[in-house]
Structure 1
């Protein structure tokens, strides 16, 4: 059974994404931070890991790009997970019994329209699934949690109001991490990498102009800590033929100062 490191507690959205990618026959290793996920994979405490990299509403999670760079892990795949927030309570509790709602600050924000219609006290926690677990273990009859359907199932709670998030088309993209082995799947059609230019006028344009016959689906700059106001550029490339990717990668090598490929894998879309 594979051990998969995730950020958060069992029943969180990272857990759901892990099940979607690997199946239910996995052993989850909960970690407090994204950095701990990467470290667990790097040092063999977990076979693979899962890390959120961007959200369709909030955008890129910039610090996690730095983790990819620092820990020298390989991106082996990706998962696009719909984020569906549910209001859940103990099995014998009804809506009128609720006095307060507990969840992660982002989950509370995502459900603001629903919550504004009630006069409940809002309590922030470190994780959505942890809130569900807390209510179940403490037997809190006047507290509801906002969390995933899996969290309700795992901790024996009743979903009293499903999908209360304001924006229904809310997705998070997760990348699958493993120790670097340079292997490329035969059905790979996507690559994630970063490059560095000489930061002269037109250097970014020069790098991007060398790409052809391939789809640039993501371009994200993020700062180089040791070089103020200088940036690395993360890109995702999608292709139908591996030879097209290799040709474009060679072109990019000639137009940049530094390149590192995080991984070449099968698109999760």
Structure 2
């Protein structure tokens, strides 16, 4: 008789009622035995996937080695469009009971470990450790990536430009607070491209340390924006406790290590990094508050099937310049998703426009629209075409 597949074993167990057994322990033992069997198969399959990833790395390295000297470059192991396609396929074929996004997160970690076998990925992010940007880096690259905190957004750009980090993660906009101007300004002086995006719901937690004495609480640390996002909750629950704004939520969490009379407001990553207890979860006044982050790198990204394109345009100083720029988008049926304005330094009273649109630069309508805009402006640069956030 042939060995039953895991699916057949599960079907047999699902059709069996606990009352069919002499006691509950016998049934639980069978279930646990089946779980152990499935775990063994999962482990074997994950290792098989990892071996295939190693073979991919070998093929890429051999291809580069055989190329003419003038064409030799470092092989590219991280493929954002490929990962986006895999994760979307995972969610599309998922049948439960695990939710689609949770299943995709499991695959993200498997892919992260496999990518680490191909080539360890060093990722710069706006630090310190425990910030929401840190959480975005882990969400996008997985926990196997080597995430390195930088002091400023400018430092993240420099680290990637120098090749010390393969990629960088920077915040670009928050649904409540608006655009992050330092990130937009970074693209004005850099040749780096946008290769991906992350959307992170911002959930704030009220954190305390093991040694915190709640009856003597006198300070609550957090970033200024986080304090503002939790103002109503704080007014109701801790109206008489001093609120102290610090440089980041990670710094707020770090300060609790040596203070018994303080609490912090920060996210899950900060709680885990600094071994803090979540006294209250999701205390933000606006539960739909979300921050969008950009992944920056050097290479152009192939289409994934669901993409965005970002451009920066330097317009002529004349009436109706912006309307003229936007007409080709409408004419070619390209949907603009956002537009932001920044000063064009060092020129006085001159401005550039950052425009996001649906589609990839290789799409005929997007390409045609961009080509029609070019002769209308002083300068146009495609910052990148990249997969839309999947998770």
For the aligned pair, the TM-score class normalised by the smaller chain equals: over 0.9
Per-residue deviation at 1:97? 3.8
Q: Could you say which residue in structure 2 is the equivalent of 1:232? A: 352
Q: Could you say which residue in structure 1 is the equivalent of 2:148? A: 29
Bigger CA drift: 200-209 or 257-266?
Answer: 200-209
Q: Distance in 2 between matches of 1:186 and 1:131?
A: 39
CA offset digits 1:55-94 (Å, max 9, x no partner): 1011111232110121221100101111111111013546
Q: Could you say which residue in structure 1 is the equivalent of 2:228? A: 109
Report the 3-state secondary structure (helix = DSSP H, G, I; strand = E; otherwise coil) of the residue aligned with 1:204. Answer: helix
Note the 1:131-142 alignment, pairs <5 A: 131-136=252-257, 138=258, 140-142=259-261
Q: Could you say which residue in structure 2 is the equivalent of 1:222? A: 342
Per-residue deviation at 1:183? 4.0
Q: Could you say which residue in structure 1 is the equivalent of 2:300? A: 182
Give the counterpart of 1:19 among 131, 135, 138.
138
Per-residue deviation at 1:166? 1.3
Unmatched segments (≥5 aa) in structure 1: none
Per-residue deviation at 1:95? 4.0
Report the 3-state secondary structure (helix = DSSP H, G, I; strand = E; otherwise coil) of the residue aligned with 2:164. Answer: coil
Number of residues of Structure 1 aligned to a counterpart in Structure 2: 266
CA offset digits 1:126-157 (Å, max 9, x no partner): 11012212212x2x221101111111112111
Note the 1:146-161 alignment, pairs <5 A: 146-161=265-280
TM-score normalised by structure 2 residue count: 0.65
Per-residue deviation at 1:225? 1.7
Q: Could you say which residue in structure 2 is the equivalent of 1:199? A: 317
Q: Could you say which residue in structure 1 is the equivalent of 2:327? A: 209
Name which one, 1 or 2, has greater alpha-carbon Rg.
2
The structure that is helix-richer by fraction is 2
**Greater relative CO, 1 or 2 (CA 8 Å, sep 6+):** 1
Moved over 4 A (4+): none
Per-residue deviation at 1:239? 2.5
Unmatched segments (≥5 aa) in structure 2: 1-119
Per-residue deviation at 1:247? 1.4
Report the 3-state secondary structure (helix = DSSP H, G, I; strand = E; otherwise coil) of the residue aligned with 2:324. Answer: helix
The structure that is strand-richer by fraction is 1
Indicate yes or no: 2:209 matched with 1:83: no
Structure 1 vs Structure 2 CA RMSD = 1.7
Bigger CA drift: 38-47 or 91-100?
Answer: 91-100
Q: Distance in 2 between matches of 1:26 and 1:93?
A: 33
Per-residue deviation at 1:114? 1.7
Give the 3 Å change call, closer, same or farther, for CA 186–166 of structure 1 in structure 2.
closer
TM-score normalised by structure 1 residue count: 0.93
Q: Distance in 1 between matches of 2:286 and 2:194?
A: 29
CA offset digits 1:161-192 (Å, max 9, x no partner): 1111111111111000012x334344352101
Q: Distance in 2 between matches of 1:203 and 1:55?
A: 28
Q: Distance in 1 between matches of 2:371 and 2:198?
A: 28
